[in-house]
């Protein structure tokens, strides 16, 4: 009886033990799944069933100063396929090839991939995408995205820049202000089955994208067009392969136009030449030549060393430090005032004055005018130019730098120098971005840096000297009837790329202030290697064509107080 | 429904005596039942089967109300769903119109771009604008101000010959 009674107990004990072991195993497994490996398993599961789609944010618009869009994003569609759902890849590829104009083989390759998502075409215009979807091809879908368009065509393309396929800025303001324009992308998270179909009542979350800010430039599209048009004509007339120009409001430092030629189509940047992509006004430094003589004059007058009326004996050549320097054209030794030295753009006269100024004073003036550092105009890749410290100057540098050789500047830097003289000696940082706009409201903007460089007396003296250049000197071709203009020509040889010395190519420049008695506009024109190696015959007439339009467009009145009966004032602008 | 006991006509015509079984013994706690008496019961033709209770008016009314509520809820649900669909359709239509407007806006911008206007103006033969004439203010100390109408003094003018290209705008 006792043995028979022990068997059930044993069996019960065994069953209990088995259950306990099973329970322990189950609990252990639960602990492993729920606690130890929970995170990794959750991630693994999420990877398998959660599809996350980035929702692109609307990229901000780039406007000109009058709120005319220069770059704008429009709705488009990204066409995609789920190859698992494509019933007949052959016929589907055929139909899509006809509709989209894409090679059939390429489409077929994508439609037969072992994937639940492949792109078929990006940035497809909405009507075309609608037509494709109307074909009701199994496995073909579309989701919204945006496409960047430049409705003004090539206008200001080097300034505005362009974006890549993923709407990331690649050049110009598009690149420089990319973080501002891009906004914050949103995200759509959906649970899907292995075939990529959404699971009904599955997890779904949408984070809405935040649109990018709009950027309002200081550029005026009409002035920009007139400037580019004038450069186009100048290239034809002078044979120069490249040219650049910039227009600045000297009182505010705002850049009104910034033009580069050859032209660039931002919609077709992939086929553009590297030189046409560059914004040479701020990205390329060059030896400015005689336009730099004004800084030498500023140092001389500000330092009390010379006045415009001071007279110098000026031969046409001068031996200095073992080298012989020449004026542009031979002449007998003249007794010229400093005014006349600048008007005739005499190298020898300027070198003589510079010897009195001294290297440290000249260097200080160059630096005060902002040479050797970027203007921080708000454009990416801005060049600082080249200006070495005086301790590294060779003996001949003290003869070449005063006449604009041996240093390098950007056209914008040099235009800012003339703008400072126009602005009574106060250098104002050039600006290209007028304001940022978010949700229709203007954002606070930091005030441009400005600093006094020279006294207003010196600035007035320099403007008078510049007037003399245009009235009686090398700048005559820049004259415009009814207006007093102060300007300076500059012709500089281009240094050899891989060796010491200079090539036979030249860069010609004209920078002018108008009206010189009450400056409203400063413009600079730089031309690469025109057929005629003289600024007066190339850059100055181009400058006149640009400014003549700008004066009328900006409603700048003529220089009052001049005798209208004076025949000299009513003459044509041609020399 | 009238109970059979109250139907006097039936009482007079059909009266039966039936044996009523002895009731089981009651609990001692309960009071003793009254002595059984013979009951007069009537057979009623067409009487409902035993166990089926006739429907009560309240129940019927309740059922009707409940059914109406269900129907109303279903109708509201359908209407809400329909309005949701309508809203989605309208939103879709708004989106489509907005996209169309964006495209048209870009078209307008393209057509009004200075380069295109310049090109079209040249094509249709527009000529450069005429020379601009500015009227100069009278010099200080002048006896009469410079006006265009007095004729006493011809206003000083600065004439700027135009070298504009056709169609570039201007005044």
Residues A310 and A458 in one domain: yes
Rounded distance, CA A28 to CA B142, Å? 109
Identify whether A255 is part of a domain. yes
Is A309 part of the contact surface with chain B (CB cutoff 8 Å)?
no
Residue of chain B whose alpha carbon sits nearest to that of A76: B99
Q: A189 and A292: one domain? A: no
Q: pLDDT tens digit string along B99-157?
A: 888 889 999 999 999 999 999 999 999 987 765 677 766 666 655 444 332 233 333 34
Interface check A69 vs B, CB under 8 A: yes
Angle ∠(A495,A499,A505) on CA atoms, nearest 5:
30
Overall domain count for chain A = 2
Residue B34 pLDDT > 90: no
Cis bond upstream, residue A515 (ω within 30): yes
What pLDDT score was predicted for residue A350?
A: 96
- Average the pLDDT over each of A176-180, A256-260, A312-316, B151-155 and give the range with the smallest value: B151-155
Nearest by CB to A560, which of B118, B136, B165?
Answer: B136
Residue of A nearest to B155 (CA): A564
Question: Is residue A44, in this structure, part of any structural domain at all?
Answer: no
Regarding whether A260 and A195 lie in a shared domain, the answer is no
Domain co-membership, A57 together with A179: yes
Query: Running DSSP on this structure, what letter comes out for residue A328?
Result: S
Last residue of a domain, one of A198, A217, A236: A217
Does residue A140 belong to any structural domain of this protein? yes
Task: Name all contacts of A221-224 with Cβ < 8 Å and 24+ positions apart.
Answer: A221/A64, A221/A66, A221/A68, A221/A70, A221/A152, A221/A155, A221/A156, A221/B114, A222/A553, A222/B114, A222/B169, A223/A247, A223/A256, A223/A257, A223/A549, A223/A550, A223/A553, A223/A554, A224/A64, A224/A155, A224/A156, A224/A257, A224/A258, A224/A259
Question: Does a structural domain hold residue A367?
Answer: yes
Please check whether residue A3 lies inside any domain of the structure: no
The per-residue pLDDT for B141 is: 62
Q: How much of chain A exceeds pLDDT 90, in percent?
A: 70
Q: Give the pLDDT mean for B20-27.
A: 50
pLDDT at B148: 32
pLDDT averaged over every residue in chain B: 67
In a domain, A32, yes or no: no
Please report the pLDDT score of residue B43 as a whole number: 67
pLDDT score of A47 more than 90: no
Measured between CB atoms, which of A153, A226, A569 is closest to B113? Answer: A153
The Cα–Cα gap between A504 and A523 comes to 27
Whether A196 is in a domain gets the answer: yes
Residues of chain A with pLDDT > 70, as a percent, come to 96
Whether A545 and chain B come into contact, CB under 8 Å, resolves to yes
The DSSP result for B130-158, as a single string, is: PPEEEEPPPPTT-SS---SSS-SSPPPEE
Range with lowest mean pLDDT among A59-73, A255-269, B76-90, B138-152: B138-152
Residue ranges of A 155-214 with Cβ closer than 8 A to chain B: 155
What is the per-residue pLDDT for A220?
97
Work out the pLDDT band at B165, boundaries 50, 70, 90.
Answer: very low
d(CA A442, CA A499): 51
Band (pLDDT 50/70/90 cuts) for residue B46 is low
ipTM: 0.75
Domain that holds residue A70: 52-99+117-217
In this structure, the answer to whether residues A247 and A308 fall within a common structural domain is: yes
CATH number of domain containing A141: 3.90.1310.10
Mean pLDDT calculated for residue range A208-227:
94
Which residue of chain A comes nearest to B99, CA vs CA? Answer: A75
User: Quick one: A510 and A376 in the same domain?
Assistant: yes
CA dihedral A196, A198, A200, A201 (to 10 degrees): 130
**A207 and A279 belong to one structural domain:** no
CA distance linking residue A380 with residue A148, whole number of Å: 20
Residues A177, A297: one domain? Answer: no
Q: Are residues A122 and A209 in the same domain?
A: yes
Close Cβ partners of B33 (under 8 Å, ≥ 6 residues apart): B23, B26
Q: Which two tokens stand for residue A441?
A: 């409201």
Give residue-wise pLDDT tens across range A274-331.
Answer: 889 999 999 999 999 999 999 999 999 999 999 999 999 999 999 988 889 999 889 9
A246 within domain boundaries: yes
For residues A432 and A466, membership in a common domain is answered with yes
Q: Is the dihedral of CA B94, B95, B98, B99 positive or negative?
A: negative
A429-457: pLDDT as tens digits:
999 999 999 988 888 778 899 999 999 99
Distance CA B160, CA A485 (A): 14
A379: domain CATH number? 3.40.710.10
A419 alpha-carbon distance from chain centroid: 21
The reported pLDDT for the residue numbered B143 is 54
Specify the residue for token string 């309508």: B86
Please give the structure tokens belonging to residue A210: 């935040």
With tokens 């035993």, the residue in question is B50
Judgement on whether residues A399 and A470 belong to the same structural domain of the protein:
yes
Instruction: Please give the pLDDT value at position B22.
Output: 52
pLDDT at B1 over 50: no
pLDDT of residue A442: 86
Does residue A259 sit in the same domain as residue A200?
no
Is A204 within 8 Å of A492 (Cβ atoms)? Answer: no
Distance CA A468, CA A487 (A): 9
């Amino acid at each position: 009886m006792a043995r028979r009674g022990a068997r059930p107990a044993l069996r019960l004990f065994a069953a209990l033990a088995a259950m306990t072991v099973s329970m322990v195993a189950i609990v252990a497994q639960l602990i492993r799944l729920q606690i130890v490996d929970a995170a990794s398993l959750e991630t693994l599961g999420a990877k398998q069933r959660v599809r996350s789609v980035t929702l692109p944010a609307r990229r901000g618009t780039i406007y000109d100063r009058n709120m005319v869009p220069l770059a704008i994003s429009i709705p488009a569609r990204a066409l995609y396929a789920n190859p698992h759902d494509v019933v007949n890849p052959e016929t589907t590829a055929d139909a899509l090839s006809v509709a989209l104009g894409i090679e059939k083989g390429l489409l077929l390759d994508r439609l037969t991939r072992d994937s639940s998502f492949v792109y078929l075409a990006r940035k497809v215009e909405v009507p075309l995408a609608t037509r494709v979807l109307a074909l009701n091809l199994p496995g073909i879908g579309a989701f919204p995205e945006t496409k960047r368009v430049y409705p003004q065509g090539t206008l200001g393309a080097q300034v505005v820049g362009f974006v890549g396929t993923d709407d990331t800025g690649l050049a110009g303001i598009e690149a420089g202000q990319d973080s501002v324009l891009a906004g914050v992308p949103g995200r759509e998270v959906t649970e899907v089955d292995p075939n990529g179909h959404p699971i009904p009542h599955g997890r779904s979350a949408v984070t809405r994208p935040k649109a990018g800010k709009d950027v309002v430039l200081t550029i005026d599209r009409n002035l920009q067009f007139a400037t580019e048009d004038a450069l186009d004509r100048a290239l034809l007339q002078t044979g120069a392969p490249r040219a650049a120009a910039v227009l600045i409001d000297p009182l505010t430092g705002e850049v009104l136009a910034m033009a580069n030629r050859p032209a660039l189509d931002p919609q077709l940047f992939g086929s553009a030449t590297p030189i046409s992509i560059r914004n040479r006004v701020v990205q390329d430094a060059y030896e400015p030549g005689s336009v730099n003589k004004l800084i030498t004059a500023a140092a001389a007058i500000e330092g009390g060393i010379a006045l415009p009326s001071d007279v110098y004996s000026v031969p046409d050549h001068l031996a200095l430090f073992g080298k012989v320097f020449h004026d542009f054209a031979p002449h007998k030794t003249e007794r010229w005032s400093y005014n006349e030295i600048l008007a005739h753009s005499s190298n020898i006269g300027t070198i003589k004055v510079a010897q009195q100024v001294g290297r440290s004073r000249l260097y200080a003036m160059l630096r005060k005018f902002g040479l050797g550092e970027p203007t921080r105009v708000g454009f990416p890749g801005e060049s600082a130019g080249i200006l070495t410290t005086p301790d590294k100057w060779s003996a001949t540098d003290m003869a070449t730098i005063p006449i604009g050789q041996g240093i390098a500047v950007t056209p914008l830097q040099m235009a800012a120098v003339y703008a400072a003289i126009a602005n009574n000696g106060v250098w104002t940082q050039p600006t290209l971005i007028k304001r940022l706009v978010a949700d229709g409201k203007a954002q606070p903007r930091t005030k441009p840096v400005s600093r006094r460089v020279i006294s207003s007396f010196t600035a007035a003296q320099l403007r008078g000297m510049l007037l003399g250049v245009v009235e009686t000197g090398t700048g005559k071709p820049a004259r415009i009837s009814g207006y007093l203009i102060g300007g300076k020509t500059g012709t500089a040889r281009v240094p050899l790329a891989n060796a010491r010395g200079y090539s036979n190519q030249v860069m010609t420049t004209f920078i002018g202030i108008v009206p010189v008695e009450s400056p409203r506009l400063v413009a600079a024109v730089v031309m690469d290697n025109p057929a005629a190696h003289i600024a007066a015959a190339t850059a100055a007439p181009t400058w006149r064509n640009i400014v003549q339009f700008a004066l009328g467009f900006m409603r700048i009145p003529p220089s009052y107080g001049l005798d209208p009966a004076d025949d000299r004032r009513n003459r044509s602008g041609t020399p | 429904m009238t109970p059979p006991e109250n139907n006097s006509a039936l009482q007079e015509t059909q009266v039966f005596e039936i044996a009523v079984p002895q009731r089981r013994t009651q609990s001692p706690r309960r009071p003793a039942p009254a002595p059984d008496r013979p009951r007069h019961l009537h057979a009623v033709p067409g009487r409902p089967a035993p166990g089926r209770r006739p429907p009560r008016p309240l129940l019927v009314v309740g059922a009707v109300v409940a059914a109406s509520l269900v129907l109303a809820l279903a109708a509201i649900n359908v209407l809400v769903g329909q309005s949701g669909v309508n809203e989605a359709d309208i939103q879709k239509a708004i989106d489509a119109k907005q996209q169309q407007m964006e495209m048209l806006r870009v078209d307008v911008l393209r057509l009004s771009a200075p380069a295109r206007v310049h090109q079209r103006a040249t094509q249709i033969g527009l000529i450069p604008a005429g020379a601009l004439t500015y009227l100069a203010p009278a010099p200080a100390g002048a006896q009469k101000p410079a006006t265009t109408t007095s004729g006493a003094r011809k206003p000083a003018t600065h004439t700027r010959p135009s070298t504009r290209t056709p169609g570039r705008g201007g005044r």
